[in-house]
Structure 1
Amino acid sequence: MILARLADVVRQDGGLLAAALRDDISGPTPYGDAIALGPRADGHAADLPLVIEAVREGYLLHYGGVGGGRIMSRDDDDLALLAGDRLYALGLERLATAGDLDAVRALADLIALSAQAQAAGDEPLADAVWAAGCAELGWGSTADLEAAKVAARAGETGAAERLGAAARHIAESLAPNR
Structure 2
Amino acid sequence: MDEEEVHIAIGKNFRKEKANILWAAANFPRATIVLVHVHWPSKWMPFMGGKLLYKFADEKEKEMHRGRETEAMVKMLSQYKSLCDDTREVRAHYLTHDDILTGVVNLVKKLKIKRIVIGSRNMSKKAVLRKCSQVWVVINGKYLSTSNDHLEHTGGTAYGGSSEFLPSMHELSDESDGYATPSSDFVSRLL
**TM-score, with structure 2 as normaliser:** 0.31
Q: Report which structure shows greater RCO (CA 8 Å, sep ≥6).
A: 2
**TM-score normalized with structure 1 length:** 0.32
The structure with the largest strand share of the pair is 2
Structure number with the higher helix fraction is: 1
Structure with greater Cα Rg? 2
